[in-house]
Amino acid sequence: MSDPVRRLPLPANAPVERARAFSEAIESAKGKHLLIALRGHPDPDGIASALAQAHICHRLGVAKTTIGYCHELSHRENRALVKLLGVDLKKMKSVREAGHVDLLGFVDAHDLDPDLADAEGLEVLTIVDHHRAPVPPKARFVDLRGDVGATSTIFVEYLQELAPLDPEIEDDRRVATALMHGLSTDTDDFMLARAGDFRAAAQIAEICDRDLLADLSRRLIAPSAMDIIARALSSLVVRRNFAMAGVGFVSEADRDTIAQAADFLVRREDIDTCVVYGVVGERFIEGSLRTHSPSVDPAAWLESAFGYDDRGRAYGGGRRDKGGFKIPIGFLGRSTDRAQLWTLVEHAARTALLRQLGDEASPLDVKAAQ
């Protein structure tokens, strides 16, 4: 393969050189058609990075840029981003649907989506990403950084060097707004942001459209999640600074709603830890723990509450402020009396949780909690 453009590793802390190498790669695609292929379900960081790359390509004379994706644009927030910013995103199963494509570019991922067909033989021009790659990816230009919270941060840096955004130009404001949104969602509203992310945010703060950003940042909750939250609230039991809620039967497609309900409940001001659980897909008792107590280690806490399976593996696990558990209900799942089954599950879960809290769970306690 010819290799006219510099490869990484580039000197660390050399934003100018990195941006220059990126622009050399882009300029080598002058007059060509570049497909920026997003991987998986597009998220704001990926969409914003693709938009920024397309913007740079346009400035540097690439004839045509298509932003493609092959998995559902899920979450209304992401659809709102695409709609409010007028991002031209093309859903495709095969590269051919974009017409004649000369080159590929990846953003916020370092490889091709395995479900995107007919990409064999196409050269990968650029890879810009912040995820770790087990094997160094191959492309004419690779910028893989582990020290930033979002790919958007890298693109803010390129733009700064190659095509500074102008607050007077509508299109530039659009790109800045998308990047700010990508930055904030990928860093959990800057809670996980690194120094580079804050610098990038500062650079585009005055360019992005604040009203639009406020619209985009409204965190939406799916109707199914809201139903589960309602169930969690109506079954909520609070003991000192601990809350627990059983939400009954949840379909497999809605399993994430249990975690969303826990995210919501832990915000209650008189508690610091909560557990929400339900029966998922008639097969497992699944639950989520959320805590901001310095003394609760989710993994250890859940291990001690729910114990181990017969191969010695803990039913629960977790990290700093969150954890989850999954316990098969086995043969009992065949019971056709769902009300009875739920009573049983709830009783067992509450007993385990109350015991873990040090509230010796007498049957009366558990009953009173019901």
Q: Can you give the binding site for Mn ion, defined by CB under 5 A? A: 45, 108, 151, 186
In the complex, the smallest distance separating the C-beta of residue 150 from Mn ion, rounded to whole angstroms, is: 5
Nearest approach, Cβ of residue 18 and Mn ion (Å):
18
Strand partners, 285: 279, 327
Nearer to Mn ion, 45 or 197 (CB): 45
* Distance (Å, whole) CA 166 – CA 119: 36
- DSSP helix/strand/coil, 95: helix
C-beta closer to Mn ion: residue 197 or 209? 197
| Residue closer to Mn ion, measured from CB, 108 or 209 | 108
Tell me if 26 sits within 8 A of 63, measured CB to CB: no
Strand, helix or coil for residue 124: strand
- Of 143 and 286, nearer to Mn ion (C-beta) is 143
The residue among 115 and 188 lying less far from Mn ion, judged by its C-beta, is 188
Residue closer to Mn ion, measured from CB, 151 or 273: 151
CB 43 to Mn ion: min, Å: 7
**What is the per-residue DSSP string for 219-284?**
----HHHHHHHHHHHHT-EEETTEEEEEEEEE-GGGTHHHHHHHHHHTT-TT-SEEEEEEEETTTE
Give residue number: closest CB to Mn ion: 45
Residues 6+ away with beta carbon under 8 Å from 31: 61, 62, 63
Label residues 250-260 b or e (16+ Cβ within 10 Å = b): beeebbebbbb
Closest distance to Mn ion from the beta carbon of 151 (Å): 5
For the chain, report the end-to-end CA distance as a whole number of angstroms. 68
Instruction: Find the shortest distance in angstroms from Cβ 300 to Mn ion.
Output: 30
**What does 276-307 look like in DSSP terms, one character per residue?**
EEEEETTTEEEEEEEE--TT--HHHHHHHHH-
| Least distance in angstroms from the C-beta of 265 to Mn ion | 28
In angstroms, give the least distance from the CB of 362 to Mn ion: 49
- Distance, in Å, from the CA atom of 220 to the CA atom of 50, rounded to the nearest integer, reads 23
Nearest to Mn ion of 130, 174 (CB atom)? 130
